[in-house]
Amino acid sequence: MLAEQRARTILQQLSQRQTISVTELCQVTGASEATIRRDLNALAGQGRLVKVHGGATTLEEFMASESDLATKQRYAREKERIARYTAALVEDSDVVYLDSGTTVLHMANHLKDSNALFVTSSIDLAGMLSAHKRRVYVLGGVLKPGTMEITGTEAMHSLYRYNFTKAFLGAGGVSLSQGFTTPDPEAAALKTLAAARTKSVFFLTDSSKFGRVTASAILPLDAAQIITDKPPDSRYLDRTAVITV
């Protein structure tokens, strides 16, 4: 495959997946790792992608709405791996806030033996924790159709009753320029307030979220730690702590 053909293939793969590894590109193009790395360096120099450790991601992309169900399901294995690792960070003495992010939801089955106190905005998550006989409180407020998430002014008032040792949050996008974002302004406000009342804040984000910007700001990049499945662009590592599992 000629260099121009490889470049088109690489960009096409990225347009579909947002992030891709050198190994995967070798399989798609039949080229060696050294050749793919040179191609990625050239495309990064042209401003057409962002080269990261072991692969590449798209340039920052604005997303006006949530990812569709098919996209979320595509990263189910990564979300499960992140959730399993994250659940092990919870200690019995913790007061934990869990929001309604899809990766956070995966934590429930890994917390069935925890004696921590949990507070959540997710009806689904609360039900799963309750089934395991965990101590769980649900915020009051408006129930958002479809996501079974509590939002609104009453939810904000509910949060003021708590102080948390740890918060585990989801985000629609994580970018160098805009930090942590989500499409829903009410959800963003709730995440921001929860973080302000927490000692240690973690965002659980699969690697597809890097370089993505959505409508509502949550926090700047340096205000929380990230737990993810693949190492992002090294520039993220200069801005905050990133745990890759």
Query: What distance in Å separates the CA atoms of residue 110 and residue 88, rounded to the nearest whole number?
Result: 8
Q: How confident is the model at residue 78 (pLDDT cuts 50, 70, 90)?
A: very high
Query: What distance in Å separates the CA atoms of residue 134 and residue 18, rounded to the nearest whole number?
Result: 37
Q: How confident is the model at residue 66 (pLDDT cuts 50, 70, 90)?
A: low
Q: Which residues pair with 44 in a beta bridge?
A: none
Query: What distance in Å separates the CA atoms of residue 26 and residue 142, rounded to the nearest whole number?
Result: 49
Arithmetic mean of pLDDT over the chain:
91
For residue 20, the 8-state DSSP code is: E
Which of 3.30.300.100, 3.50.50.60, 3.40.50.1360, 3.40.50.300 would CATH assign to domain 69-244?
Answer: 3.40.50.1360
User: What topology does CATH give the domain 3-59?
Assistant: Arc Repressor Mutant, subunit A (1.10.10)
pLDDT for the residue numbered 69: 44
Judge residue 145's burial from the number of C-beta atoms within 10 Å of its C-beta, 0-12 exposed, 13-18 middle, 19 or more buried: exposed
Nearest-CA neighbor of 114 among 140, 76, 86?
86
Nearest-CA neighbor of 104 among 130, 132, 124, 133?
124
Average pLDDT of 192-221?
A: 94
Q: Where are the domains of the chain?
A: 3-59, 69-244
Helix %, strand %, coil % of the chain (to 5): 40, 25, 35
pLDDT for the residue numbered 18: 67
Please say if the pLDDT value at position 19 is more than 90: no
Query: What distance in Å separates the CA atoms of residue 203 and residue 225, rounded to the nearest whole number?
Result: 6
Q: Which of 18-22, 136-140, 148-152 is predicted least confidently?
A: 18-22
Does the pTM surpass 0.75? The reply is yes
For strand 198-204 and strand 164-169, is the pairing parallel, antiparallel, or unpaired?
parallel
Which residues does 56 contact at the CB level (< 8 Å), separation at least 6? 10, 14, 19, 20, 40, 43, 44, 49, 50
What percentage of residues in the chain have a pLDDT greater than 70? 93
For residue 25, the 8-state DSSP code is: H
Structure tokens of 104?
Answer: 């956070």
Per-residue model confidence as pLDDT tens digits over 141-163: 999 988 899 999 999 999 999 99
